[in-house]
Amino acid sequence: MLKQAWQRWLDRRLPRARQVQLDQRRIFIFPTGYGFLYLLVSVLLFFGGINYENNLILGLCFLMVSLFLVAILHTFRNLSGLSLRAGASRSGFVGGQGSVEVVLVAQRRPHRALWLRWLDQPAQEISVEPGEESALWLNLPLSRRGRVRPPRLRVESRYPLGLLRSWSLVSLDQVCLAWPRPQESHDCPADGGDRERQVASAGQSGSEEFQGLRGYVPGDSLGQVDWKGYARGRGLNVKLFEEPASGRLWLRYDRLEGVPVERRLSILCFWVQRLSRENRPFALALPGAELPPGQGEEQRLRALNLLARHGDTEVD
C-alpha cells in the first residue's frame, strides 16, 4: 500500500516525458553516511569547544558547518539544469537484453560525476560539459514479448565532496521491442509452391531471372551487390531478380493452427531468421497485418518488429 502511494506521488510529480529538465521540483538531496559522520564530528567539536571554552575548536566547528552548507548548494547545482532526452533503442529477443539511449544535455554549467542506473541495475558514470551532449546506452532485460518500457531512471551525484547525495527519478517516454524467442521447427509454415518444404536446403537463387541493376540502399543484402561492376568503377549497385510466383515464400500465422499464440510467433521468428541467413526473399502474414515480399537485413528487422507487435493495442 505504501509503495503504491509512493508510485502515484512520483507519477504526479515526475510524469513520463520524452525530455526532462531537472529543477528544484525534481531533485532530492540528503546527507550520505560520510555526511552524517561529518555532522557528528562537528557537534562533538561544538560541545568540546563550549566545555573547554576553546575558541579555536569552536572556530573549526563553525568552519565545518559552513563548508557543509556550501556543499549543499554545489551538490544541488550539479544536477540542476541538466536535461535528459530519450534517444534510440535496440531491440532483442525475449530472455535476452535490449538497450535504450539516454542523451544528457548541459546548457549553462558543467555536470560532473553523474551516476545513472535503473533501480536494480549497476550504475554508469558520465560527465557533461557546458553546451555539449553526451549519450549513454543502458541495458534493459527483456522478460516478455512486445513493447518494454524501462523503469524509472535514477540520476545521482555526490559531487563535489561526497557529503551529500542529490538524485532524481526520471521516467523517459521510450520503448524497446522484445522479439519472440526463436523456436526450431522442421516444417516451414509458408505458402510458396513446390519449394515451401524444401527451403531449408535451397541455398541458391533457383529459377530467378536477372532483371537489371539499381543503386544500393542501406539495408540491402551485400550478397546481391554487383561487386564486379563496383571494382570497374560503375558505382555501388544491387542486382535485381524476378522470382516466379511459385517460388515466393509467404510465412503465414494461420498455417500453425492449434498451436499456442506465443509458440506460433516463436516458430515464425525461427524461419524469419533462417530465411534471412540464407538470403531468401520472404513475406509475412499475421492476423490484421502483412509484410510484403523482400529480403536482406531491413526485411528481417521489419518482420521481427511485426512479430513483436502482434496483439499490441497500444497506439504509437
CA–chain centroid gap for 73, Å, is 33
Cell 537463387 -> residue? 205
Is 84 or 233 the better-scoring residue by pLDDT?
84
Given phi > 0 = left and psi -120 to 50 = alpha, else beta, which region is 95?
left
pLDDT-based confidence at 195, cuts 50/70/90?
A: very low
Each domain of the chain, given as residue ranges in start order, spans: 9-179, 190-208+243-309
Q: What single string gives the DSSP state of each residue in 238-286?
A: EEEEE--GGG--EEEGGGGTTS-HHHHHHHHHHHHHHHHHTT--EEEEE
Cell 531468401 -> residue? 280
- Structural contact between residues 164 and 71, judged by C-beta atoms closer than 8 angstroms: yes
Q: Output the CA–CA distances (angstroms, integers) from residue 123 to 94, 111, 115, 117, 259, in the order listed.
A: 23, 16, 6, 5, 42
Quick check: 157 pLDDT over 90?
Answer: yes
Q: Using DSSP, how many helices (H) and how many strands (E) does the chain show?
A: 6, 18
Cell 529459377 -> residue? 207
**What number of CA atoms fall less than 13 Å from residue 165's CA on the CB side?**
13
Least reliable range by pLDDT among 117-131, 236-250, 256-270: 236-250
Q: Which of 89, 239, 117 is nearest to 179 (CA)?
A: 89
Least reliable range by pLDDT among 11-25, 79-93, 158-172, 198-212: 198-212
Could you tell me which residues come within 8 angstroms of residue 60 by beta carbon, excluding any fewer than 6 positions away?
45, 49
The letter for the amino acid at 176 is C
- Structural contact between residues 250 and 191, judged by C-beta atoms closer than 8 angstroms: yes
In sequence order, the β-bridge partners of residue 17 are: 172
Strand bridging mode 250-252 / 190-191:
antiparallel
Q: Report pLDDT digits (tens) over 7-48.
A: 888 778 888 889 999 988 889 999 999 999 999 999 999 999
Provide the pLDDT for residue 205: 43
Quick check: 179 pLDDT over 50?
Answer: yes
Quick check: 144 pLDDT over 60?
Answer: yes
